[in-house]
């Protein structure tokens, strides 16, 4: 989980670094040169024909992306799987929201979610809350100030020794979404930590139908 400290705090090695700040292009306010509240480069639509890269603080990045929102990547959009025969909605659990998007619990807990029980072979006795990954990305963009802010948060937390992971991509993501949706249709959740699920998602090994039929009880 993210460290229990204010979002604007950073670990500095000297007093000299403590006082180092940079100026936001728009509001002219000064922000820390490092940490979660640092100014970051953004391609602004306010200058030039195709936009100009400017250095913006967190608040100004939020305002800039409110004017022109960043497009969503296909990886978080729902889609039809012709082989599977249904619509797949990418969903992630609470731990994945923390690891992939550097969100604290109180920053996403109020978002719409579904609650499902784990399969009986799971060691976790508690129900699982699953969130639409697109909604989580939208919230993370607001919290951190766009995709550039999310990337900065990942770097910051990793530098603090926190566990950070990038969201899966390519075939791994497709297999995760597919098997997760299959279990949801049975009204259960199978953790990616389960050996059968882990092997199928990472390598594609195993029979999809057999895995679901065996564990979805």
Question: CA-CA distance, 7 to 2, in Å (whole number)?
Answer: 10
Query: CA 107 to CA 123: how far, in whole Å?
Result: 27
Q: What is the pLDDT of residue 116?
A: 97
Sign (positive or negative) of CA dihedral 57, 58, 59, 63: positive
Structure tokens at 73: 């990547």
Instruction: Tell me how far apart the alpha carbons of residues 147 and 154 are, in angstroms, rounded to a whole number.
Output: 11
34-43, 122-131, 149-158, 179-188: range with lowest mean pLDDT: 122-131
* R_g over Cα of the chain: 20
- Report the C-alpha dihedral over residues 19, 24, 27, 30, rounded to 10 degrees: 0
Q: What is the pLDDT of residues 152-175, one digit of tens each?
A: 999 999 999 999 999 999 999 999
Which pLDDT score is estimated for 49? 52
Q: In this structure, is the dihedral angle defined by the CA atoms of residues 150, 134, 132 and 110, taken in order, positive or negative?
A: positive
pLDDT higher for 70 or 11? 70
Domain ranges of the chain: 1-69, 73-215
Condensed to tens digits (0 to 9), the pLDDT of residues 107-124 reads 999 999 999 999 998 877
Specify the residue for token string 């594609």. Answer: 204
| Sign of the torsion angle spanned by Cα atoms 170, 172, 178, 184 | negative
Rounded distance, CA 178 to CA 182, Å? 6
């Amino acid at each position: 989980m993210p460290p229990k400290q204010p979002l604007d705090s950073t670990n500095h090695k000297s007093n000299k670094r403590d006082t180092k700040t940079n100026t936001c292009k728009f509001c002219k306010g000064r922000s820390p040169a490092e940490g979660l509240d640092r100014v970051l480069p953004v391609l602004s639509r306010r200058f030039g024909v195709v936009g100009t890269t400017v250095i913006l603080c967190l608040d100004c990045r939020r305002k800039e992306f409110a004017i022109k929102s960043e497009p969503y990547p296909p990886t978080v959009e729902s889609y039809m799987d012709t082989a599977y025969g249904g619509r797949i909605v990418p969903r992630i659990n609470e731990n994945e929201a923390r690891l992939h998007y550097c969100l604290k619990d109180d920053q996403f807990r109020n978002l719409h979610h579904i609650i499902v029980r784990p399969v009986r072979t799971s060691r976790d006795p508690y129900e699982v809350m699953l969130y639409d990954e697109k909604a989580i990305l939208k919230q993370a963009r607001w919290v951190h100030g766009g995709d550039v802010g999310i990337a900065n948060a990942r770097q910051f937390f990793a530098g603090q020794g926190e566990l950070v992971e990038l969201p899966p991509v390519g075939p791994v993501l497709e297999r995760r979404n597919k098997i997760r949706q299959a279990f949801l249709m049975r009204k259960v959740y199978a953790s990616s930590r389960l050996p059968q699920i882990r092997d199928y998602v990472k390598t594609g090994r195993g029979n999809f139908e057999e895995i679901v039929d065996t564990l979805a009880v």
